[in-house]
A and B are shown apart, each in its own frame.
Chain A
Amino acid sequence: MNPARIAVLGLGNLMRTDDAVGMLAIQQLRADPRFPRCVSLIEGGTLGLDLLHPLDGVTHLLALDAIDAGATPGTLLRFAGDEIVDLPISKSVHLLGFSDLIGAARLTGRAPAEIVVLGVQPEIIGWGTQLTATAEGALAALVETAIAQVSRWTQEIERAQIDVLVPAGEPEPAVA
C-alpha cells in the first residue's frame, strides 16, 4: 500500500480580487505554527493539467478556492465525494479546471482517494489584488476549517496505522 500523503492545494488568480482567497489561505497556512510540516502546501494558481505532477502520490487532497455557488458572499462551502462533480471552480488555460484535473488523475489511476474542496463564495472577481472585506472575513474561517480537516486526516491515518506519513521534505522544483 502506498504511504499516506496529505496535500493542500490553493487555486485562484491573485489578480482577480476574491478569486485569490484559496491562494492566500495557502500563504497563511504556511506561516501558521499549528500546521503540520509533513503536509504539502501547493500554490496551484491558475494551472490546470500542470498540477498532475505535484498531485502525484497524494492520497488525501484538500482544495481551497473561490466557488460561485450562488450563496451569500463570504459563505464557506464544503464539498466531498460525488459533490465535487461539475463544481464551478476556477478554470485555467486550456479551459481545463479542477474537475478536469481530478478526472485526468482518475483516468490515469492516480487520483487521491480522499478529496475535499473548501470554497468561499466570492463577492466580486474583477481585476484587483485585494480581497473584499467580505472575503477577507471568510479567509480566517477557511484557514481554520482547513487546519481542522488536515488534523482530522492525520488523526485518522495515525489511528488506522495505514503507514507513517511521508514528510513533505523539499518540494521538487517541478510543477509539470
Chain B
Amino acid sequence: MARVVIDPVTRIEGHLRIETEVNGGRVTDAWSSGTMFRGIELILRGRDPREAWIWAQRICGVCTTVHALASVRAVENALGIDIPDNARLVRNIIAGAQNVQDHVIHFYHLHALDWVDVTLALKADPAKTSQLAQSISEWPKSSATYFKGVQDRVKALVASRQLSLFSSGDWGHPAYQLPPEANLLAVAHYIEALDMQRDFIRIHAVLGGKNPHLQTYLVGGMSTAIDGNEPEAVINPERITLFNELAARAKTFVQQVYVPDVLAVASFYKEWFGYGEGLGNFMAYGDFPSGSINDPSDFFFPRGVILGRDLATVHPVDPGKIAEYVTHSWYEYSVGDQASRRPAEGETSPKYSGPKPPYLVLDTDAKYSWLKSPRYDDKPMEVGPLARTLVAYASGDAQVKKSVDAVLAKFNAPPTVLFSTLGRIAARAIEADIMVEKLPEWIAQLDDNMAHGDVRIHNGDKWDPESWPKSCAGFGLEEAPRGSLGHWVEIENKKIVNYQCIVPSTWNAGPRDAHGQRGAYEAALLNTPIADPERPLEVLRTVHSFDPCLACAVHVVDGKGRSYGREAEAVPDSEGTTSLPADSAALYKAAVQGGL
C-alpha cells in the first residue's frame, strides 16, 4: 500500500493537492486539500455593500464575473431590490456566455490531454483522420490537407522543443486508448478552440467594458447604457448584431465540434462511465431567471436536490439547511470545531496547524485543507454541470431529457452511467449545447425591449444608503459554470459586518466533515484503477472531470522549474514498497524529458 500525492494538480485554476492511498492497483482512500487561503471575506468587512462585487469578483480570474453576480444578488436580496428586465437579460447573457466559454476551455485546454496523447497524433494518417471527422460532424475544416497542416504545425512545435502547452502530458501512458486519428482530430480542435474562445468572449468585453473582471455591474441592475438611437450606447442595434454573430459562431462550434468530439472520445473510454461515481447526492440552486430572481420555479436551470442516486425524486432546496464544518479545515469556530455553522452566521478565523513546507504527506486525521466542508442538511453534495443536468432531467425538463436520452441511446446505457467521470464530461457538453440555443433568445428579448423603448437597466430606488434599514442580511445564489455558488452578506449601519462565500469547488473539493463524511472529490476517487503509481493519470481524469477551481493567487515559478509540470510523488509507507524521487531537479528533468 502506498500514498500517492499529486501537488500541485495542474491544468486547473488555483492550488490543489490530492493524496490517495493505492492498494492492489486501485485507490482505496483519498484526501483533497486546498493549499491556499482566500481572505476576501475579511477584506470586505467594513466596506460599502454597493462596492462588494468589485472586490468579490477578484476571488477568481477564471470564473471571472461569477462572484460579481453572486455579490450584487446578495446585496439586492438584503435590501429588497428588484432589477429591471434589461438588467436580468444582460446578466443572463453574460453568465450564459461564461458557461459556454468555460465548458469549451475546460474540455479542450484543461481536460483533453488526460484522454488525448499528442505524440500519437503525429503518427496519424491525415486521410483517415479526415474520414473520421466527416463521419461524426459537418464541420467544414475536415480535409486531409487541413489535418496534414495541423500535424506539421505540431511537429514543428515538437522539433523546436517548445512543447509549452503539451509539456505536462503523460505521453505513452498505457491508459491512453484513442487511435492516432482520433488524437489528431482532438489536437486540431484543441487549436481551433483557442481561436473560438478568444473570439466568443468578446461578448464580455463589450457588455463588461473589459474581460476578465467585468466592470458594469451595479447593485440594482447594470451600468450598460441601452439606447436604440445612440451609437455610443453599449447596447444598440449594431451591438445586438455583433452579439448575434458571436452567439451563432459559438453555437456552430459547440454543436459541430465540441459535442461530437465528446461523444467520439467517450466511445473509446466507455469503462469511465463506471469510474468516478462519487457521492450520489447532487444539488443545484438553479439559475437564469425568466422573471424575478425570487421565483426559482421560473429558472431556465431548475433548482433541486437529488439524494442517494434516486432520480425519481427531486427535493426542494432550503438555503437554511446549508452549513459548513471546519473540523478538518485550517480554521476555528467560536462554537467549537465539531459544530457546523450556517453561512449567515459564518466565521472566517484562519488557524493553520498543518506541517511546515516542504512536507511529504498531510496528517489527514487532523485538519488538512484551506477549504471548509459545506453540507446540505448535513449531507455532502456534488455541484456542477452533472448536478444541474440530473436535477433538470429528474425534474422532467423536456430539452434536457431529450439531449440526455440521445446520449444514453448512443451508448445503449441507462441514466445511472451518468454518475461517473464521463458523465460529468457529457453533462458539460449537453449544457453548452442547450445554452447556445438559449443565448439568441435573450439577445432577441433585449433587442425587442429596446425597439419598444424600454431602456431601463438600473433600479436606483434604494441606491441611497439613507433608504436602508439599520440592519439587514441577504444571500445571492447562482449557478456558475462549475456549480452552485452562494454569497451571504450582513449589513449594519450601511456597512458590511459579515460576508461569506461558499463556492462550487468548496462543495466538490472540500475535506471530510465532523462525521468523517468524504467530500465529492474524495468519494469520486475511490476504486479508481491506477496502472502506474508514479504517473497517476487516472486520478487526474476524475479530479479534472469536476473542472476544479480553487481560489487563486499567482506565484512566480522558481528557476528550477518545480512548478512546471504536475508532480506525482509515490511516498513509501512503513514497509517502504515504493521509492521517493531523489530531488526536485531530477523531477524537473523527468518532467521535461518525459514529455515529447
Contact = CB atoms under 8 A, between A and B. Distances in A.
Contacts of B13: 93-94
Interface string A68-82: 111000000000001
Contacts of B204: 174, 176
B211 A106 contact: no
A161 interface: no
Nearest to A53: B198
Interface in A50-65: 50, 52-53, 56
Interface string A100-129: 101110111100000000000010010000
B191 A173 contact: no
A53 B554 CA distance: 21
A19 B558 CA distance: 12
Given A56-B198, A106-B157, A174-B210, A122 B164 contact: no
A103 to B, nearest CB: 3
A95 B566 CA distance: 10
B321 to A, nearest CB: 33
B179 interface: no
A49 interface: yes
A175 B164 contact: no
A119 B161 CA distance: 22
Contacts of A70: 559
Interface string B196-237: 011001101110011110000000000000000000000000
B164 A100 contact: yes
A87 B5 CA distance: 27
A166 interface: no
A102 B163 CA distance: 11
Given A95-B563, A173-B205, A176-B204, A103 B164 contact: yes
Nearest to A109: B153
B212 A68 contact: no
Contacts of A30: none
Interface residues of A, number: 43
Which interface class (under 10, 10 to 19, 20 to 34, 35 or more) fits B? 35 or more
A109 B192 CA distance: 11
A97 B555 CA distance: 11
A52 B558 CA distance: 25
Contact of A93 (B62, B556, B592): B62
Contacts of A89: 557
Interface string B545-587: 0000000101111110101100000000000000000000000
Contact of B211 (A90, A108, A176): A176
B11 interface: yes
Contacts of B191: 107-108
Contacts of A92: 61, 554
Contacts, number: 130
B195 interface: yes
Chain B residues touching A, majority SS: loop
A95 B10 contact: yes
A95 B205 contact: no
A47 B206 contact: no
A66 interface: yes
B89 interface: no
A95 B162 contact: no
Contacts of B128: none
Contact of B157 (A52, A107, A174): A107
A99 B162 contact: yes
Given A52-B194, A176-B204, A176-B205, A90 B563 contact: no
Contact of A175 (B156, B194, B211, B592): B211
Contact of A86 (B11, B555, B592): B592
A109 to B, nearest CB: 7
A91 B6 CA distance: 19
Contact of A16 (B110, B198, B555): B555
A172 interface: yes
In this complex, the member of B61, B554, B564 whose beta carbon has the largest number of chain A beta carbons within 10 angstroms is: B554
Given A86-B561, A176-B204, A106 B212 contact: no
Contact of A91 (B156, B160, B195, B554): B554
Given A47-B212, A95-B10, A103-B162, A176 B559 contact: no
A88 interface: yes
Nearest to A13: B554
B236 to A, nearest CB: 15
B94 to A, nearest CB: 13
B283 interface: no
Nearest to A102: B164
B253 to A, nearest CB: 14
B556 A125 contact: yes
Contact of B561 (A88, A94, A106): A88
A176 B198 contact: yes
Contact of A90 (B206, B210, B556): B556
Contacts of A56: 198
A95 B11 contact: yes
A60 B480 CA distance: 38
6 contacts: A19-B556, A53-B201, A68-B557, A92-B554, A173-B209, A175-B212
Given A19-B556, A108-B194, A176-B198, 6 more contacts: A49-B109, A68-B558, A88-B559, A88-B561, A107-B165, A176-B204
Ordered nearest first, which 5 A-B pairs have the shortest CB separation?
A103-B164, A174-B205, A176-B201, A68-B559, A46-B554
